[in-house]
Amino acid sequence: MKLLEGVIVAHTTPFNNHDQVNHDEIKKYIQFLIKKGVNGLFVCGTTAEAQILSFDERKKILETVLSENKGKMTIVAQCGTINLDGTRDLIKHSQSCGADGAGIVTPYYYLYKQEELFEYYSILAREFQEFPLYLYNIPALTGNNLEPSTVSRLSYEFSNIIGIKDSSGNLTNVSNYLLETRPGFKIFVGYDRAFLSVLLMGAHGTVTGPGGIFPEPFVEVWQAFQNKEYQKAMELQNKLNLISITIGEGNSLAMLKAALKLRGIGNGLMRRPFRSMSEEEMHIFKEKLEKVLQKTGYQL
């Protein structure tokens, strides 16, 4: 199994005009990401509208991704659900069809104690001992924060818990994860502005929605960092920030889909209760985006 590292894209989900998942556009999107040099894909995460997809839709999306990817990018499927049985089901499917691992967001809606979260992940780690698992912390949406002490315990007790995607936006969290987890435990951030900063702290990459629309600056930051060209990496990070802010920094899925449509993939449609951009909004958005791209030296 390949492990995540570098630029990991959290993809959007294309729908057709009848609100069905458009698998042809998914295939087109996978080829786009491969061509741009993306290292990995986080399948059916927050950016994919996964919590308003059915389990069957999520499984079929992963199958399409794996079939089209052909081993080029590292593929990890986000399998966390609101309950243990649902999460088990998705992990089993991911393992059986050849994914490189499973991401597991904390259970959500109800607020859980740290010991309850520890036991939840422990059960899954014992059941899937031969499969790489990644914790996923996004407390703004789940209501549950994985404290560094909990992550530390999990990292030392279960070798198949490989790392964590942290979307808390809290650099103290990241610092403490790095200090308190076992050597080699992988830390990924889900907030673009901190990409280079956390790499310099010792993190292993980013899981990004905007990076799935404009992979170029993300890949360039990663490459510059790998080459120890830190001044160049800082300049690229500033360009990355401008682009990410312009397309919503991952906080507006409609903006991400609209931008991807402008790049020739998908139709920009959201699944209800989300609202898609109107034609007028799209026109204003395109003008603003084109100005930023001209300033940063990138193109649609």
Catalytic residues: 46, 109, 136, 165
Exposure of 180 by Cβ count < 10 A (0-12 exposed, 13-18 middle, 19+ buried)? middle
Residue 293 in tokens: 């791209």
The whole-angstrom separation of Cα 173 and Cα 147 is: 8
What values do phi and psi take at 188, rounded to 5?
A: -125, 145
Question: Which residues are bridge partners to 212 per DSSP?
Answer: none
* Helix (H) / strand (E) containing 65: helix 55-69
